[in-house]
Amino acid sequence: MEKRSFFERLTGSVRVENADAPNRASPAPKEHVLPHDEEGQLTIDVWQTPDEIILQAIVGGVKLDDLDVQVTHDMVTIRGKRERQHEVSANNYFYQELYWGAFSRSILLPQEVDADEAEATMKNGLLTIRFPKLDKARVAKLKVKNE
C-alpha cells in the first residue's frame, strides 16, 4: 500500500486515479480504509465572544446517536462515526474524498469553561457547542449565618 500524504491522513481523503487517463500506467484504484486503530480527525472552528467560547464542526451524515461529546472545564472531545448508505466498488469512483468511519477530535480550550452549562446543537449537519466562560475575576460575597 502506498504511503498516504499528510493531507490524506489529516482529512481522511483518498487519492483515486482514473485508470482510463492517458499516460497512466497505474493499476485500478484500491479501496482505502483506515486501520481499525486509526480514526479520521474532525475539522473545527473555535472562537470567542465576551461571555462564551464557541466550537463548530461539520458532521453531516452523522446520526445523533453516533455522536459523543465530552466536556471538562478545559477540554472537549468529540467522537463519532459516519456510515455509508451503500457500498460502491472502488473501480466505479471518479473521486473518493469523503471520509467514512470513526472520527474524533480533542482540544484544549483556550480558557476554563462551565462544563455543566455547555450546550450542543446540530442543525443541517453543523454541530455547534457553546461553552460559557468561567469568570475568575468574579467575587461572590457570602453572608455569614449565626448558629
The pLDDT tens digits of the residues spanning 89-102 come to 989 999 988 888 99
- Which phi and psi angles does 112 have, rounded to 5°? -65, 140
Element containing residue 6 per DSSP (H, E): helix 6-11
Decide which of 135 and 65 is more confident. 65
Distance CA 29, CA 35 (A): 18
Residue that the C-alpha cell 479520521 belongs to? 40
Neighbouring residues of 120: CB distance < 8 A, sequence distance ≥ 6 = 69, 127, 128, 129, 130
pLDDT in tens, 100-110: 899 999 999 99
The fold adopted by the segment(s) 6-132 is Immunoglobulin-like (2.60.40)
pLDDT in tens, 40-72: 889 999 999 999 999 999 999 999 999 999 999
Q: Which neighbouring-strand residues pair with 56? A: 45, 128
pLDDT in tens, 16-41: 655 555 544 444 444 445 555 678 88
Distance CA 81, CA 122 (A): 15
Whole-model pTM: value is 0.67
Q: How confident is the model at residue 147 (pLDDT cuts 50, 70, 90)?
A: confident
Q: Which of 7-11, 17-21, 112-116 has the highest mean pLDDT?
A: 112-116
Distance CA 3, CA 21 (A): 22
Amino acid identity, position 102: A
CB–CB of 78/58 below 8 Å?
Answer: no
Q: How confident is the model at residue 129 (pLDDT cuts 50, 70, 90)?
A: very high
